[in-house]
A and B are shown apart, each in its own frame.
Chain A
């Protein structure tokens, strides 16, 4: 570690850290020397970035290709109303440097991929994963293993959260378990929804993202026991939490290179073979009064919020209601964004031999954006 010198202003700013006996000036110097890469500046990334910046992590990288939307503001406390429509990484950088001008913030305004991950990761000491999709989560894990850096992981669903420290260097020279040791394979596309599809209590990423920041700081400074070999689970409804033991899976295939993560997670190959209809073509069919059936595979609450008059058959009850789907005309299947409907068609085609099903590309959100702006979005 380079000798980290602090100005008078920094000494004053970090005083409450420096006076903690276990932390001290040495801990603060380690934070200043550290380079942390945060993947995603959304629900988890927001509180995590704020606390890491406030704590004085010297170099913070942020990977995000997205822009701020109004539906983000219920939980993504990095951003304000004036941020809507602007790139998240730029808005995050502005906010973090306002909070702490003594740190460096590096923005990576791009979609993390197998082509760029290793080149980005090699400049950092630690990665904190706050993404919202399986391909990126497996990519982050594998890139951390290949570059030999710890992955401070967190994930959320409605009222529940998970936190762990993967690929942590152990005293015996080996590495602690990683994401693939716990979850070797992702679920089929559409089975496990993300926050945009399933909803999330706004304060939950605040809790879990703060715990994630806590683990980042522990790993950097070496104080306490990080969640290596452990999976912390939290349920905001019952306020129960638990630390579960996890271990390396000796039967798991070694991670030797980055792969095609969309294909691994089933997002590309299966969707490619499913017939699609654009929202423009769909709108044309409606206006022409063509005879087709519209099936909506979202949940009841989503349907009640906004719908296009289709027959509601939530994805989870698809197999029980398959007889409601017609075979002698075009059937257009829709959901919020086109992922669950693709999954529904895949299942119906494979198990029941349908050949007349079309996925509404981009779902009801694309329809609201491109065809009918009066429809409420979510």
Chain B
């Protein structure tokens, strides 16, 4: 199972779940599953061109990855995917 960590600002769209597990083996598959299971999160992840919002970043392990519909990433079973949002609190 691969896991995706949901940041606090987006958890209200995942019933407050902070980690979602899937059997998806690629990055696109993970996001398809996430949007299928929690439809409300879709507009908070992607813009009208189906591109990830510019105020979010996706990391596979500790490396940044683009989720732009062009290049997919094969995942290993212990990979943790992180959605990192811009936050402003000080």
- Residues of chain A touching chain B, judged by Cβ–Cβ distance below 8 Å, are 40, 42-45, 129-134, 137, 154-160, 162, 182-187, 191-195, 198, 200, 205, 231, 233, 237-238, 242-247, 314, 316-317, 320
Q: Judging by beta carbons under 8 Å apart, are A45 and B84 in contact?
A: no
Closest residue of A by beta carbon distance from B9: A192
Q: Judging by beta carbons under 8 Å apart, are B85 and A192 in contact?
A: yes
Q: Chain A contacts of B55 at CB under 8 A? A: 183, 185-187, 192
Partner of B84, one of A132, A192, A231, A237: A231
> Would A132 and B86 be within 8 Å (CB), given that A245-B62, A246-B64, A316-B40 are in contact?
no
**CB proximity to A under 8 Å, residues B59-90:** 59, 62-64, 82, 84-90
Q: Judging by beta carbons under 8 Å apart, are B90 and A43 in contact?
A: yes
* B53 lies within 8 A of chain A by Cβ: yes
Partner of B86, one of A183, A198, A247: A183
> Would A244 and B86 be within 8 Å (CB), given that A159-B8, A184-B54 are in contact?
no
* B23 lies within 8 A of chain A by Cβ: no
Q: Judging by beta carbons under 8 Å apart, are A43 and B89 in contact?
A: yes
Assembled-state Cα–Cα distance A195/B8 (Å): 13
Closest residue of B by beta carbon distance from A180: B54
Assembled-state Cα–Cα distance A137/B87 (Å): 10
Q: Judging by beta carbons under 8 Å apart, are B59 and A45 in contact?
A: no
Partner of B63, one of A182, A184, A193, A245: A245
Q: Judging by beta carbons under 8 Å apart, are A155 and B12 in contact?
A: no
* B3 lies within 8 A of chain A by Cβ: no
> Would A233 and B89 be within 8 Å (CB), given that A187-B55, A192-B9, A316-B12 are in contact?
no
The B interface is mostly helix, strand or loop, or mixed, namely: mixed
Q: Judging by beta carbons under 8 Å apart, are B64 and A156 in contact?
A: no
* B7 lies within 8 A of chain A by Cβ: yes
Closest 4 CB pairs of A and B: A185-B54, A157-B87, A183-B86, A132-B90
Closest residue of A by beta carbon distance from B86: A183
- CB A4 to nearest CB in B, in angstroms, measures 31
* B46 lies within 8 A of chain A by Cβ: no
> Would A195 and B90 be within 8 Å (CB), given that A157-B8, A183-B55 are in contact?
yes
Q: Chain B contacts of A160 at CB under 8 A? A: 7-8, 87
* B44 lies within 8 A of chain A by Cβ: yes
Q: Chain A contacts of B85 at CB under 8 A? A: 187, 192
Q: Chain A contacts of B64 at CB under 8 A? A: 244-247
- CB A250 to nearest CB in B, in angstroms, measures 13
The winner among B8, B55, B64, B86 for most chain A CB atoms within 10 A is B86
Partner of A156, one of B7, B12, B53, B90: B90
Assembled-state Cα–Cα distance A184/B86 (Å): 10
Assembled-state Cα–Cα distance A233/B59 (Å): 12
* B13 lies within 8 A of chain A by Cβ: yes
Assembled-state Cα–Cα distance A237/B18 (Å): 11
Assembled-state Cα–Cα distance A160/B87 (Å): 9
